[in-house]
Amino acid sequence: MAGTLRFVLGDQLSTEISSLRDVDPDHDTILIAEVMDEATYVKHHKKKIAFLFSAMRHFASGLEAKGFAVRYHRLEQDKGPRSFNQALIDAVNDLDPDRIVVTEPGEYRVRQMMEDWRGMFDCEVEIRTDDRFLCTHGEFRDWASDSKTLRMEYFYREMRKKLDILMDGDEPAGGQWNYDHDNREALDGAVDIPERPQWSIDETTTEVLDLVGQRFDDHFGSLEGFDYPVTRRQATHYLNWFVDEALPCFGRYQDAMKQGRPLIFHSHLSALINCGLLAPREVVEKAEEAWKAGDVPINAAEGFIRQIIGWREFIRGIYWSQMPDYGRSNKLLAQRALPDFFWTKETSMNCMRQSITETWDNAYAHHIQRLMVIGNFCLLAGLDPKEVQEWYLIVYHDAYEWVEMPNVVGMILFADGGLFASKPYAASGSYINKMSDYCVHCDYAVKRKHGPDACPFNYLYWDFLDRNRERLENNARVGMMYRTWDRFSDKKKQTIRDDSSRFLQNL
């Protein structure tokens, strides 16, 4: 071959990825592989596997159409490789390249795998930086080492300045860094939710859906109604649709939940960004341009942009700065097993049933469903952090360990003891009732505080604080709630403990 072998992973589907930036179509080969080990190291949602395999196949076809030599392994090929290692070994044996070029992966375990390749082959193995991200590992480490506390808000402000996004000179556009106080409205019947674009299912996607239905039939989720964008063209169309039709109202209603409408005004672009079909910078610039043109209010543009250059970059920095031990964090000593209804969807708590059912159907739930419904329950019930991490990694089509683990460990479960979250995100049923219409359809009464008909979130909230008092009472943002707890009568406290014990034992 006397050329370079360029190994592109399934979440690197961009012609601008660093491993392809200097590709030579006359001498180089691009390797892309569907491998069983990656599809099953956890039993990923059927739609996540179908989405990635279809996107990978379309990406490979696009490269071939441009004249590049592509070595593509389909999962259904006889005697195909089961792992990244085997796919690379087979390619090296067949092609005898001068060197191997890869872009660093998103996950620690794959990075270790790549480091091992340097000792497996006689040729050079070059691991390049993934510069789709807007903050390098070194930049995050420098920022973190200079910060007294790791808070996303302060990191986000530095990113705004660095990238010159939503800035007016040295000051934030509009005079504020954060417009969250404008972004907490519940939906009412007068709000029109825009209809989403529909995506055609071509022959490639049909083949993938058949494959996944046959080979992964015991995995979580449904394949019915698959209509994800799977090409760069579809992804950019979806981005344009979101900015034009949904972003103007995204800010006000980003925390809202409505039964039967899983997307509302949310972008649904995270999976497309995480796999490479969209670049974070282009998404941010598109939103900023709409604000500058007067088509999108600043609270909507800022709230959306913060998710990408704030949370997304910050969470990635936390992950790489804390690995490899971060996933074992369990500062609240939570040990309860994940309840069966996380897999079956069968629970009398309507908010949980709606959120898990939509996850089953779509491999997606928006951030408030993930954090303040499902995640809130996991926190209050004291579910084992390892089991919760695995569930979140399995069920969402935008989930990769680098983004899933810190969100679960740090944001949802406070299992790292507050490394970057200032308090546990615990709430009673009143919050869910305020932000959704779930409670009016529930078997439990959200305004009842105790008894078998009371909303479990109401007594579990206080039980969570009670059993974690030693670990949480000195938290400045939680201390007030302990003063409220201390004013409860002994009888009321015991009722809360009894209701919680009964409910948790029945899980």
Are both 153 and 273 inside the same structural domain?
yes
Convert the pLDDT of each residue in 260-311 to its tens digit.
Answer: 999 999 999 999 999 999 999 999 999 999 999 999 999 999 999 999 999 9
Q: What is the dihedral of CA 402, 406, 408, 413, to 10 degrees?
A: 170
For residues 315 and 170, state if they share a domain.
yes
What is the torsional sign of CA 268, 273, 278, 280?
positive
Q: How far is CA 94 from the centre of its chain?
A: 37
- Considering 68-82, 182-196, 367-381, the range whose residues carry the highest mean pLDDT is 367-381
Classify residue 213: in a domain, yes or no: no
Q: Is 209 contained in some domain?
A: no
pLDDT for 499 equals 98
Phi first, then psi: what are they for 86, rounded to 5°? -70, -35
In a domain, 273, yes or no: yes
Residue 334 covered by a domain: no
59 versus 183: which is more confidently predicted? Answer: 59
Separation between Cα atoms, residue 369 and residue 459, nearest integer Å: 20
- Count of other CB atoms within 10 angstroms of residue 206: 12
pLDDT at 1 over 70: no
> Which letter does DSSP use for residue 235 in this model?
H
Q: Which of these three, 76, 104, 128, is where a domain ends? A: 128
Q: Are residues 81 and 56 in the same domain?
A: yes
Q: How far apart are the first and last CA of the chain?
A: 60
Q: pLDDT tens-digit profile of 220-272?
A: 999 999 999 999 999 999 999 999 999 999 999 999 999 999 999 999 999 99
Q: Are residues 276 and 254 in the same domain?
A: yes
| Residues 395 and 220 sit within 8 Å (Cβ to Cβ) | yes
- Sheet containing 99-103: order of strands: 69-73, 29-33, 4-7, 99-103, 124-128
* 297 and 153 both lie in a single domain: yes
Task: State whether 314 and 435 are in the same domain.
Answer: no
Task: Classify residue 346: in a domain, yes or no.
Answer: yes
- Are 417 and 478 in contact by the 8 Å Cβ rule? The answer is no
Q: Are residues 185 and 303 in the same domain?
A: yes
Q: State pLDDT tens for residues 444-463.
A: 999 999 999 999 999 999 99
pLDDT of residue 2: 66
Average pLDDT over residues 59-84: 94
Is residue 328, in this structure, part of any structural domain at all? Answer: no
Same domain? For 290 and 414 the reply is: no
103 and 148 share one domain: no
Helices (DSSP H) in 445-489: which residue ranges?
456-467, 469-472, 479-486
> What percent of the chain lies above the pLDDT cut of 90?
95
Q: Which domain holds residue 67?
A: 4-128
Say if 156 falls within a structural domain. Answer: yes
- Return d(Cα 371, Cα 273) in angstroms, integer: 20
CB 32 within 8 A of CB 103: no
Q: What is the domain count for the chain?
A: 3
155, 231: one domain: yes
Query: What CATH number is attached to the domain comprising 416?
Result: 1.10.579.10
H-helix or E-strand spanning residue 73: strand 69-73
Tokens of 231: 């090409």
With a CB cutoff of 8 Å and minimum separation 6, the contacts of 498 are: none
| Same-domain check for residues 37 and 121 | yes
Cα separation, 242 vs 266, in Å, equals 8
Asked whether 158 and 306 are in contact (CB, 8 A), the reply is no
Q: Does residue 353 have a pLDDT over 70?
A: yes
Q: Of the residues 73, 102, 128, which one is the last residue of a structural domain? A: 128
> Are 191 and 306 contained in the same domain?
yes
pLDDT band with cut points at 50, 70 and 90 for residue 78? confident
8-state DSSP, 454: B
Q: Does residue 282 form part of some domain?
A: yes
The Cα–Cα gap between 284 and 127 comes to: 27
Among the candidates 128, 153, 181, a domain finishes at 128
Please list the residues that pair with 5 across neighbouring strands.
29, 100
Compute the mean pLDDT over every residue in the chain, rounded to the nearest whole number.
96
Domain of 144, CATH number, reads 1.25.40.80
Give the pLDDT confidence of 485-506 residue by residue, as tens digits. Answer: 999 999 999 999 999 999 999 9
Question: pLDDT tens digits, residue range 421-433?
Answer: 999 999 999 999 9
Closest CA to 403 of 156, 108, 158: 108
